[in-house]
Amino acid sequence: QVTVVGSVNRDIAIRLPRLPRPGETQSSCGVTARIGGKGANQAVAAARLGARTRWCGAVGEDGEEVLAALAAHGVDVSGAVRLPGTPTGTAWIFVDDAAENAIVLDAGANGLLAPDHVPALADGVVLLQHEVPDEVTALALATARAGDAVTVLNPAPFRPLAAATLESVDVLVVNGPELAGLAGSASVPATPDEARVLLAEVPGVEAVATLGAHGALIQRGRHVEHIPAPPVDAVETTGAGDTFCGALAAAMAGGAPLVEAAEYAVHAAALSVTGEGAQESMPDAAQVREFMTT
Ligand code: ADP
């Protein structure tokens, strides 16, 4: 079983000829509403790959539709809380004709998730991100660790981690900018060699660094392994990191050792960039298996 403790957002994409100026009113050329948020995306990725998956997080009074959408993807939402007087997290994404964007994010209920909203986390793989308050992350990791669960943290968006939080993490998953943040480096690694140098700055934890088209590096103790990404025709990379995290957790929940799980996740995430959208382009297990054998 995979348990994701994290965010859910309504992503409202608004297409405009150009981004509005202060005081200006513009008519949109079209609006698309989707479900997003790193927590929800990672839960959908794991569920799509066949893992028994539950999502624990908060929605507002207007959240029934969002929960129904997650449930329709096969995610167990029985651990969700509904917070009265609060809106569900919402991202308003303005996109102009030149594909330039401007985003307004309201954390809404995600920002009000509290430690006592989270049910007992005693087994399976427990997966967290950084879109809920830090005290929720800290407590969820600690209780999961005190049980038999394996804990995976994707500290995105990046904020420095408390030492006590890091101690409860079995596997840390970071992309290039997050690895730079973690290692205290001003420059984002562009190659596996550069990432290797930064990973050496974060000893003592098993860590996976994702590097876009370069695939991923897996650090276990002093040993670092590179898993290249298979070449694909990239259409949209939104949600690639979320697909990676969900797939890694799904494979680990199925008993795969870390390197094998990362290899599975690299392939699942590479497939996800060949289609548009985030959740819309996440592959199922049969597609990943076929891709891995061709
Ligand atoms: P994020 O989406 O968090 O920035 P990355 O860009 O590192 O994360 O991508 C995560 C994973 O998605 C990579 O490890 C890789 O497996 C896959 N991926 C991303 N971009 C590409 C690409 N252009 N070609 C193949 N795989 C890709």
How many CA atoms does the CB half-sphere of 135 hold within 13 Å? 7
Quickly tell me which residue has 């690639």 as its tokens: 240
Whether ligand 1 lies within 6 angstroms of the CB of 266 is answered as yes
Residue 114 C-alpha to ligand 1 middle, in angstroms? 32
DSSP for residue 27:
-
**Residue 47, C-beta contacts closer than 8 angstroms, at least 6 positions apart:** 53, 73, 74, 75, 246
Whether ligand 1 lies within 6 angstroms of the CB of 208 is answered as no
Residue 215 C-alpha to ligand 1 middle, in angstroms? 6
| Separation in Å, CA 56 to CA 7, 80, 110 | 8, 5, 11
**Residue 204, C-beta contacts closer than 8 angstroms, at least 6 positions apart:** none
Provide the annotated binding site for substrate: 9-11, 37-41, 131, 242
User: pLDDT value at position 104?
Assistant: 94
The model's pLDDT over 151-185, given as tens digits with 9 standing for 90+, comes to 999 999 999 999 999 999 999 999 999 999 999 99
For ligand 1, mutation pick of 42, 154, 232, 237 (most atoms within 8 Å of CB):
237
Cβ atoms of 93 and 62 within 8 Å: the answer is no
| Separation in Å, CA 258 to CA 50, 88, 251, 252 | 18, 34, 9, 7
Whether ligand 1 lies within 6 angstroms of the CB of 213 is answered as yes
**Residue 193, C-beta contacts closer than 8 angstroms, at least 6 positions apart:** none
Q: Which residues does residue 32 pair with via DSSP β-bridges, in sequence order?
A: 13
Residue 81 C-alpha to ligand 1 middle, in angstroms? 32
User: pLDDT value at position 286?
Assistant: 98
- Angle at Cα 93 formed by Cα 55 and Cα 159, nearest 5°? 55
> What is the 3-state composition of the chain as percent helix, strand, coil, each rounded to the nearest 5?
35, 25, 40
Whether ligand 1 lies within 6 angstroms of the CB of 173 is answered as no
Whether ligand 1 lies within 6 angstroms of the CB of 244 is answered as yes
> What is the domain partition of the chain in residue ranges?
2-9+37-88+108-293
User: pLDDT value at position 243?
Assistant: 98
Structure tokens at 271: 């497939």
User: pLDDT value at position 253?
Assistant: 98
Provide the annotated binding site: 9-11, 37-41, 131, 175, 210-215, 238, 241-242, 272, 275, 277, 281
How far does CA 69 lie from the centroid of its chain? 17
Strand locations in the chain, DSSP E? 2-5, 9-15, 30-36, 53-56, 58-60, 81-83, 90-95, 101-106, 125-129, 150-154, 171-174, 206-210, 216-220, 223-227
**Residue 118, C-beta contacts closer than 8 angstroms, at least 6 positions apart:** 5, 56, 79, 136, 139, 140, 143
Task: Say what the pTM is.
Answer: 0.96
Has the ipTM of the complex gone over 0.85?
A: yes
Strand locations in 155-204, DSSP E? 171-174
Rounded CA separation 66/267 (Å): 28
215 Cα nearest atom in ligand 1: 14
Class of 2-9+37-88+108-293 in CATH: alpha beta
User: Which of the residues 76, 106, 123, 242 is marked catalytic?
Assistant: 242
Residue whose Cα lies nearest atom 13 of ligand 1: it is 212
Q: Extract the residue ranges of the chain whose pLDDT is less than 50.
A: none
268 Cα nearest atom in ligand 1: 16
For ligand 1, mutation pick of 38, 129, 175 (most atoms within 8 Å of CB):
175
Could you confirm whether 148 is annotated as catalytic?
Answer: no
